[in-house]
Structure 1
Amino acid sequence: MLIFSKKAALQAHLDTYIKAGKGIGFVPTMGALHSGHLSLMQQSLEQNGVTVVSIFVNPTQFNNPDDLKKYPRTLEADAEKISGLNKDIIIFAPEVDEMYDGNTVSSHYDFDGLENQMEGAHRPGHFDGVGTIVKKLFEIVRPTNAYFGEKDFQQLQIVKKLVEKNHMGINVVGCPITREDNGLAMSSRNARLSDAERNEAALIYKILQGARKRFDFESIAEVKSFVESAFEAHPAFKPEYFEIAAEDTLEPATLKENRKYRAFIAIFLGNVRLIDNISLN
Structure 2
Amino acid sequence: MTVVYTKEDLKAELLKLNKNIGFVPTMGYLHNGHKSLIEKSKSENEYTVVSIFVNPAQFLPNEDLDKYPRNKEGDIKFCEDLGVDILFMPKDVYFDYEPKVIAPKELASILEGATRPGHFDGVLTVLNKFFNLVKPKNAYFGKKDTQQLMVINNMIKSFFMNINIVPCEIIREEDGLALSSRNSYLDEEQRVMALKIFRSLTKAKNMIENGELDSNLIQKEMRGILEPLKIDYIEFVDKEFNKIDKIKLGESIILIAVYVGPTRLIDNIWI
Same fold per TM (> 0.5)?
Answer: yes
Corresponding residue for residue 155 of structure 2: 162
> Secondary structure at the residue paired with 1:262?
strand
Corresponding residue for residue 16 of structure 1: 16
Distance 1:38 1:277 in 2: 20
| More divergent stretch after superposition (140-149 vs 221-230) | 221-230
Structure 1 alignment gaps of length 5 or more: none
> Secondary structure at the residue paired with 1:251?
coil
Q: Aligned residue pairs: how many?
A: 269
Could you say what the CA RMSD is over the residues aligned between the two structures, in angstroms?
A: 1.7
TM-score (norm 1): 0.91
Cα deviation code 1:24-53 (max 9, x no counterpart)? 000000001100001100111111111000
Distance 1:103 1:68 in 2: 22
| More divergent stretch after superposition (137-146 vs 223-232) | 223-232
Q: How big is the shift at 1:17?
A: 1.5
Matches within 5 A, 1:186-197: 186-197=179-190
Corresponding residue for residue 230 of structure 1: 225
Corresponding residue for residue 275 of structure 1: 266
Percent identity of the aligned residues? 40
Structure 2 alignment gaps of length 5 or more: none
Q: Call closer, same or farther: CA 1:256–1:278 in 2, change over 3 Å.
A: closer
- Whether 1:241 aligns to 2:233 is yes
Alignment check: 8 A CA contact 2:204 2:218 kept: yes
| More divergent stretch after superposition (69-78 vs 185-194) | 69-78
Matching residue within 104, 114, 127 for 1:110: 104
Q: How big is the shift at 1:257?
A: 5.1
Q: How big is the shift at 1:224?
A: 1.2
Distance 2:103 2:184 in 1: 32
Q: Call closer, same or farther: CA 1:76–1:106 in 2, change over 3 Å.
A: farther
Distance 1:40 1:257 in 2: 28
- Whether 1:90 aligns to 2:83 is no
Cα deviation code 1:234-260 (max 9, x no counterpart)? x2x11110001112x212212445761
Corresponding residue for residue 220 of structure 1: 215
Alignment check: 8 A CA contact 1:60 1:104 kept: no
Cα deviation code 1:122-166 (max 9, x no counterpart)? 110011011101111100000000000001011111111111111
- Whether 1:71 aligns to 2:59 is no
> Secondary structure at the residue paired with 1:100?
coil
Distance 2:75 2:39 in 1: 15
Corresponding residue for residue 141 of structure 1: 134
Alignment check: 8 A CA contact 1:220 1:244 kept: yes
Q: Call closer, same or farther: CA 1:257–1:186 in 2, change over 3 Å.
A: closer
> Secondary structure at the residue paired with 2:220?
helix
Q: Call closer, same or farther: CA 1:44–1:257 in 2, change over 3 Å.
A: closer
Distance 1:79 1:138 in 2: 21
Alignment check: 8 A CA contact 1:245 1:262 kept: yes
Q: Call closer, same or farther: CA 1:74–1:65 in 2, change over 3 Å.
A: farther
Matching residue within 53, 57, 63 for 1:56: 53
Matching residue within 104, 124, 127 for 1:131: 124
